[in-house]
Structure 1
């Protein structure tokens, strides 16, 4: 079961449902999906994925669900939140490959950034991405992420060396897509 916590045009973000662990295990064990994820290079059992989802469900991680049909296609979340510096790390996966390259990731990132900046009052959100993940980098740029640095030849995959790219976005660089609209609806005109 899903709950419409943050609603976009085509998707909404819902608290994670630990009962989806088999779907997540299927995605994580698909090399095309997991090759882009940090620390997901080894196969994972269904029971192992269940524990991961239960742990993530206690954090600021949300399921990405299609509005019209309530279908789970991935998740997005904020990790390593530093409440003093007001920073967090973005993590996202569109596990259902049918929905790759159609803008669902961009919409999910916009919704989670809206939450990060306008509900959690964070100042910046950063991410790490492998240099070979060109489509993800283009998506992050479209949302407004800027290059913050890179670790050159930091990983090796299939005998080739690749950089880890760091990107970030500041609160004043982001325009609210959802929360501001909800607040405006709640305002009462003065009498």
Structure 2
């Protein structure tokens, strides 16, 4: 099966496979500053590989690694994931993790999301993308608003009480 890949100005977005499970990736899930906002954590490399493989084989999911650098020296710095909602097949829920903290605050999310939204629209037939963001994560809320996300007027997903649902038409 051919992996999907696309390029932005600074990054390569490449569909993840179980071979992308690494100690570095696993460390992001265990670091306090990155782990506090994610919902799926894994205990070890094998469970991480299984999680990636489940998403790779899921026809309703697009799970992309964010890689900085060129083909000979790529650095995996994070991921973006879109998954179609079963009850609303025209909506995908997005999650993004910039695991390498030295890339925080450098516009990675904006560049990656803007490049990947058209692919999500064409490959999954999505019309709306939503996400959950912790109410106290002001920097993330502002970053999503700069991209065009708005606080959802009609929520579609039951995020926890500490989260806002934001969405964007694609």
Matched, 1:123 2:124: no
Deviation string 1:132-160 (CA, Å, 9 cap, x unpaired) is 22221111111100111588982xxxxxx
Instruction: Supply the distance in 1 between the matched residues of 2:4 and 2:55 (Cα, whole angstroms).
Output: 18
For residue 140 of structure 1, the aligned residue among 118, 133, 144 is 144
Instruction: Supply the distance in 2 between the matched residues of 1:167 and 1:96 (Cα, whole angstroms).
Output: 24
**Structure 2 residue aligned with 1:73:** 77
Change (3 A) 1:152 1:62: closer
Q: CA deviation at 1:95?
A: 0.6
Q: CA deviation at 1:92?
A: 0.8
Q: CA deviation at 1:121?
A: 2.8
Change (3 A) 1:83 1:111: farther
Q: Helix, strand or coil for the counterpart of 2:38?
A: coil
| Residue pair 1:74, 1:94 contacting (<8 A) in 2 also | yes
| Residue pair 1:81, 1:88 contacting (<8 A) in 2 also | yes
| Residue pair 2:84, 2:124 contacting (<8 A) in 1 also | no
TM-score, normalization by structure 1: 0.73
**Structure 2 residue aligned with 1:166:** 165
Q: CA deviation at 1:46?
A: 2.3
Instruction: Supply the distance in 2 between the matched residues of 1:81 and 1:152 (Cα, whole angstroms).
Output: 13
Instruction: Supply the distance in 2 between the matched residues of 1:64 and 1:11 (Cα, whole angstroms).
Output: 7
- When the two structures are aligned, how many residues end up with a matched partner? 159
**Structure 2 residue aligned with 1:50:** 49
**Structure 2 residue aligned with 1:176:** none
**Structure 1 residue aligned with 2:33:** 32
Bigger Cα Rg: 1
Structure 1 unmatched ranges of 5 or more? 155-162, 172-191
| Residue pair 1:7, 1:13 contacting (<8 A) in 2 also | yes
Structure 2 unmatched ranges of 5 or more? none
RMSD over equivalenced CA pairs, Å: 2.5
Higher deviation after alignment, 85-94 or 145-154: 145-154
For residue 97 of structure 1, the aligned residue among 97, 101, 119 is 101
| Residue pair 1:77, 1:112 contacting (<8 A) in 2 also | no
